[in-house]
Amino acid sequence: MHLHILGICGTFMGGLALIARAAGHKVTGCDAGVYPPMSTQLSEQGIELIEGFGADQLALAPDLFVIGNVVSRGNPLMEAILDSGARYVSGPQWLGDHVLPGQHVLAVAGTHGKTTTSSMLAWILEASDRRPNFLIGGIAPDLEVSARFDPRVDTFVIEADEYDTAFFDKRSKFVHYRPRTAILNNLEYDHADIFPDLAAIETQFHHLVRTIPASGRIVVPAGSEALDRVLARGCWSETVRFGAEGAWRAGPADANGAFAVLRDGQDSGTVRWTLGGEHNRMNALAALAAAEHAGLPAADGIAALSRFGGVKRRMELRGTANGVKVYDDFAHHPTAIATTLDGLRRQVGQARILAVLEPRSNTMKLGTMAERLPASLQQADLVFCFGAKQGKQALGWDPAVVLAPLGERASGFDDLDALVAAVVSSARPGDHVVVMSNGGFGGVHGKLLDALAR
């Protein structure tokens, strides 16, 4: 079957393209601004990429058009597909209908930590010679790629996003996955462009819970009011709690980040790694509880996590120049920003932290979370906030006004070069610069390192 994928360079749709290719299909695709690293991954697999969404692509005459959620009405190729009566389907539905049946699906959902927890879970299975199939929104160096599929394997780890499926299917993507094991990592208000309030997101999570069989397992943190409300609406599966008062708990981390894992109060072993932060310990507990449901003993999972090398763009050290370390992090929600900075503060002690922030997500650009930003940035010594005046990155609020509670510590910029110059002027040896964005941020990491080196 020939599939033509619209929006192929997105993390999910690009991963889906790799899986479709591995399943034996002919795959082509298009996107606006075909860009690496996904374009490189796809080209290496022999997948033809077309720049833009021209209506002339209808002449490719694929058996099926697979639509990503970046595509909306008015897209010229989509309009041509609709006018012609050609067959089309959303990416999540195609995956749910053609790949996931017969698989033990382990889905990782939640507002924060999906990519890291999915990577941990896939690595636990990988290190135990299970060779799982997976589709993850990032690349863990241990796994080398963001997606993999072997039809001979019956275990599939998937990052389960609550964002909408497509312009014609406003359900969350994860309702198509029908997991047997589901991690509900946390739940906060996000995606203000899609959901009016937290209750609307809770409803989508309730729909996910409804698809999990009685023989399945739901892994959920202890003490989450939002997730407790979700489960109170109906739960038909085993529920396993992690965190404080949960069946799975973490002992305090030592100076190197190692911590003991307690299963029902019994010491199951120690994860010996260098990843910092309480959030990573909670992610690890969730991954261990899910892997157990797939047949992996806690000891095996703990041994695997002790060799886990992290995930790209999650406090990834991009380089050091003139004694200044520059990190890349995906944080783009106030809770994630606060968690990232808290973890770094615990790691570096009294050293200065310079936070460079691009509020790029639709929720952040709309200003829905703006009033929470100052508190989330308290651990930073200096804050540099970027928001272009025009184009897709334009903000609906003024950083100078929103960040005023931080006083002279915070400054706003609408020119990237000016921001880089300000950071470099302020930085001194021993500082830690953490760049937080869910996008490429104009290659600011390299620009900072180059300027610092000069």
Instruction: Centre a 10 Å sphere on the Cβ of residue 197 and count the other Cβ atoms it contains.
Output: 9
Judge whether 181 is annotated as a binding position.
Answer: no
Contact of 273 with 258, CB cutoff 8 Å: yes
Q: Is 112 annotated as a binding residue?
A: yes
Q: Coil, helix or strand for 134?
A: strand
Longest dimension (CA), the chain: 63
The whole-angstrom distance between residue 30's C-alpha and the CA centroid of its chain comes to: 23
* 446 labelled ligand-binding: no
Q: How far apart are CA 266 and CA 428, in angstroms?
A: 47
Query: Residue 113, annotated ligand binder?
Result: yes
The C-alpha atoms of residue 103 and residue 157 are separated, in whole angstroms, by 10
Q: Is 116 annotated as a binding residue?
A: yes
* DSSP summary character for residue 361: S
CA distance 380 to 355: 6
Rounded to whole angstroms, how far apart are CA atoms 223 and 241? 9
40 annotated among ligand-binding-site residues: no
Helix (H), strand (E) at residue 284: helix 278-293
Which tokens go with 394?
Answer: 């334009």
What is the b/e burial string over 376-389, where b = at least 16 CB atoms within 10 angstroms of the residue's CB? bbebbebbbbbbee
Strands in 26-31's sheet, in edge-to-edge order, are 48-51, 26-31, 2-6, 64-67, 88-90
Binding positions: 110-116
Binding positions for ATP: 110-116
